[in-house]
Amino acid sequence: MAHSIDTSDIWLLDIEAYSGESDSFPVAIAWGIMGGHINHELIIPEDEWLEEAEDQPTTSEFNLNDLRERGTTALDIIRQLNEELADKRVVVDGLDIDEALLERLYEPYSAEPSFEIHSLTNFLSDNNIDYDFHELYERRTEFVQEQAQGTDEAEKSVFALHQLIEEYVRRNDD
């Protein structure tokens, strides 16, 4: 039997982009600890992001009015993240541009995250857990699709990450 992995101190994070462009900006963020509450915030876009993305078609479920009316400033989100995730193990799915979006979030304030992010595949490899990338991607898609309507993509992705880690750790323990 393989060595059981303690997942109780793993934090999960996902960031939704405004568009599919590589220089897109973050519009929603979700994070939470394995098995715990998921925090979710819409992000009020910085003026410089809007200027740079003027011609980008959005792929986000949120329009700019939603973000302005219901969003939180990037600076407030940075404070929350740095306080809550300081020196924690933070896992992202690694299937999109989360790392670039995180940098983009912090950039206007010349700030740095108080935590490092690790892709799910690196987490699995670091813990000697075998996986097939295509199966992993398919399972993630299934978990995201199982989520209720009205739940945004970042929140769904954090839930899917939780399910994937539980499933693969359980397989490893068997």
Q: What is the pLDDT of residues 5-58, one digit of tens each?
A: 888 899 999 999 988 777 789 999 999 999 889 999 999 999 999 888 777 777
* Architecture of domain 10-173 in this structure: 2-Layer Sandwich (3.30)
Per-residue pLDDT at 1: 46
Element (H, E) at 108: none
Q: How many residues does the chain have?
A: 174
Q: Taking all residues of the chain, what is their mean pLDDT, rounded to a whole number?
A: 90
Provide the sign of the torsion angle of the four alpha carbons 11, 89, 146, 59, taken in this order: positive
pTM (predicted TM-score): 0.91
Whole-angstrom distance, CA of residue 19 vs CA of residue 113: 23
Contact yes or no for 12/119 (Cβ under 8 A): no
